[in-house]
Structure 1
Amino acid sequence: MDEALLRSLTPSVLAVLVRRGADFAAAEDAVQEALVEAVRHWPDDPPRDAKGWLVTVAWRKFIDTTRADAARRRREDRVEEEPPPGPASSVDDTLQLYFLCAHPSLTPSSAVALTLRAVGGLTTRQIAEAYLVPEATMAQRISRAKRTVSGVRLDRPGDVATVLRVLYLVFNEGYSGDVDLAAEAIRLTRQLAAAIDHPEVAGLLALMLLHHARRAARTAPDGSLVPLAEQDRSRWDTKAIAEGIGILQKALARDRLGEFQAQAAIAALHADAPTAGETDWAQIVEWYDELAGLVDSPVVLLNRAVAIGEAHGPRAGLAALAELDDSLPRHTAVAAYLHEREGDLTKAAALYAEAAHKATNLPERDHLTRQAARLNAKRRA
């Protein structure tokens, strides 16, 4: 059984049912039932037209459910009868599903879950394991999301920016359970890039590839975090880096700069440096200036302060940092780093310890604690 094929076909099959007039929630249920039938029958009798087979079976399931539900009998008057056998339509409505699953009426967590289920073809169990929540909890979240969008009419263009934010949320979840969400986000973004010609879609895909290329070097064998400057660059995926830079260059050539293209440009400069010492920090600062003009994000300004500290010295970085709210996440950690660069080890050690106390996840807390201990040992030596 080719699970990858089933997952790749899921959104287009669902889109066919929705286009024919099926309610989204009922259509999604019917597609899931068709996938179960595929798992049961395909190993012994694989179809010539996989998509056509799934559309036919899913439509039958939908019709059967509609006819059996007395509360939905009125829908029968406007539901088409089963189409004659034959190849499935080549029309791809997958893009509409992206817009529907990232509808503004949904919370970010619900939009992510619905995207993974309806567009990604993942099971509720897989999504629950990836987000480390009980399956019943995730099932309720998905059911509520499906009910929310069931009455939404796709009679106007969707918001690409919202779709991209949802996909970026998926990517940043990384890996847990038996589903690699970073790889899944890249797959879905590739699919979106094939459906829509948009420079920001390309920019997000490039950004994901460039970040994902460093994955193997981000953690030590004991699971501890390895900062970018200390990573073994021979472990970076050069093929993914080359692909990401190529996609980015084509997007930038269209002269329609967006936030994901700017972020990808920064990631490309890091990826292009043979060593940490050869990083073009001056150009990275320029890209952060561009990014700050595109988005109102204190996180961008925080990262810009780090870049200024690298390009123009720690005092300049601390001056930029002083302009920001010190309650920002990672503000204290950045201050610790810049004070260490300036040579004030006592203050840097105290700030690393304070940042460790504020950290929201264990790997980051452990890393900052080790930094504080390292400086304290250095001071005593």
Structure 2
Amino acid sequence: MRWLRVKGVPATITTPKVTGKLTLMSADVADALFRSPLHERHLALGAKLAAFGGWEMPLEYAGGGVLKEHAAVREAAGVFDVSHLGKSRVRGTGAAAFVNSCLTNDLGRIQPGQAQYTLCCDETGGVVDDLIAYLFADDHVFLIPNAANTAEVVRRLTAAAPAGLTITDEHRDYAVLAVQGPSSAEILGKLGLPTGHDYMSFDLATLGTAELIVCRTGYTGEHGYELVVPWDDATAVWDAIVAAGVRPCGLGARDTLRTEMGYPLHGQDLSLDISPVQARSGWAVGWSKPEFWGREALLTEKTQGPRRLLRGLELTGRGIPRGHMRVYAGEQSIGETTSGTFSPTKKVGIALALIDTAAGIADGDLVEIDIRGRRIEAKVVKPPFVQPSVR
């Protein structure tokens, strides 16, 4: 259970643990969810709202829909409100070294002004969360975890932190706006924001009176930026971006875009039961580091070989796969899908699936997915399903 503090709602309201799954909701459920500072803007745009990670967020907008919003990002630019993402700060002497001793990736590989994708694991090697670490200085690291996992990440860091370090949960101090697509640099440049920095690096800027972090990151595979904006300035920044001609996009399109890239979603493709080795996220593990949470378990799994691996599946027939559908080779059940959708770019069904390594399946092999009682043929492929433009 997780405590929620929402304006107008008693602090004693609780909701069940939420994964990344999008869920349409009733009014009473909506009343118990956090809301973005852009909630009124979403209502004005006719957004269809859904529960996501304990937040009420836009799934898609009137006059657009997932397909048009997806196409806008692949062809021009779209803006996503992802303020549900967590924000936490680690400050004090040795902050970077401390974070590096906890999370999987090696902060020693990057310099101040750069960001890094990393994982928070437990002692068994399961993934508590995947997150982005912004390295400001040796004594200052800013973290962006997933919405539903922020409190747990902060709890674990706080419990492990030595005296002199402070870990703060700033979840509702900042909004995050993701401007993604091939036109994103041109549009943000016209607003006076920095756009020339390298992928996975960030710069500080102002837009009007708002002080922003502008990071060359995203979850779509396209050239893009994520803007960390003070909570009270989010509406003004959103309005400026939309007025510049950027289409508002909801979390439905964000999901189809990330699935085309094979990017994992925590709670589906990564979890306490799905390790980085199984999810083929070992590139985000600093294997030579002497210390990080879950190190021994992950080294053992890597050495022995995982019992299952995340693979891409592209349907050769008609159908739309979803999560938790069985995968077969002949009459043998060999795994289960973790994510699935219709690819608006390729016009076919695609999925990520955990496949038993003992089955000996290789890229190019044909398997079948049980989609509501019908076996649909799919080809095993190595993601991404669509060539990314991000560099």
Query: TM-score scaled by structure 1?
Result: 0.31
- The answer to which structure, 1 or 2, has the higher relative contact order (CA under 8 A, 6+ apart) is 2
| Structure having the larger proportion of residues in strand | 2
Structure number having the greater helix percentage? 1
TM value normalised by structure 2: 0.30
